[in-house]
Structure 1
Amino acid sequence: MNKEEILAKSRSENTDEGKKNAEDQGRQIGIIAFIIVLIFLFIFNMCTNRSNDALAAVFWTYVAAEAYPRYRFSKEKSLLVTTIAGGFLAIANLITYVMRVVG
C-alpha cells in the first residue's frame, strides 16, 4: 500500500482525531477524579469506622472492566489475571457488603 492509498483510506474513515483526542483526555481526567474521590471516601470511611466493601466492589469492578478489553486485544496473561482477580474481588466485596447491610 503506497502513501496515497493510506491517505485516501484515512480520509474515508470519517474519524475525527480531535474528537477522539478530547474523548481520551476526558476519560483520563475522569479516571483521575474517580480515584481521588475513591481515596477520599476510603479514608473518610476508615476514620468513621464504616465499611469500605461497597467502594472496594466498585473499584475492583472498574479494574476488571478496564483490563478485559485490553486483554482481548493484546492477549497478555497479566491482563487476564487482572480481569479474573478484579472480578472475583468485586463479587466478594459486593457479597460482604450486602451481608453486612442485610444481616
Structure 2
Amino acid sequence: MKTLIKIDLLILDEWLLYELSKEEATLILEIINSRYLAKKSNIFCSQFDIKGWYGKLGDGTLAEAILDRIIHNSYEIFIDGTVYMREKFGLITTIE
C-alpha cells in the first residue's frame, strides 16, 4: 500500500472492468485519497465512460468519495475507434 501511495505516477489499466466489492472500493479510496493529498498523478484507462463508473464502484457515499478525488483537477481523454487493438495488430480477425 505504501508503494502505491509513494510512486509518482500510478496507472490503472482496465479500470473498473468488473464491479468492485465494498472492501475493494474502500482500499481504492484509501489509495486515491492518500495520493490526492500527496499531489501524486494517476492515469485511469477504462473501456467505460466515466458516467458508468459510479455504478461499478457500488453506488453510495463510497463511490461519491472515490469519484470526487479522481475527477477533481482531472483531464479526460476520449479515444474512439471502430477497430479493436488486437484486430489492428493482427492478433484477431473480425467475423463478418
TM-score range, shorter chain: under 0.3
Structure having greater relative contact order (Cα 8 Å, sep ≥ 6): 2
TM-score, L = length of structure 1: 0.25
Greater fraction strand = 2
| Structure with the higher fraction of residues in helix conformation | 1
Superposition TM-score, scaled by structure 2 size? 0.26
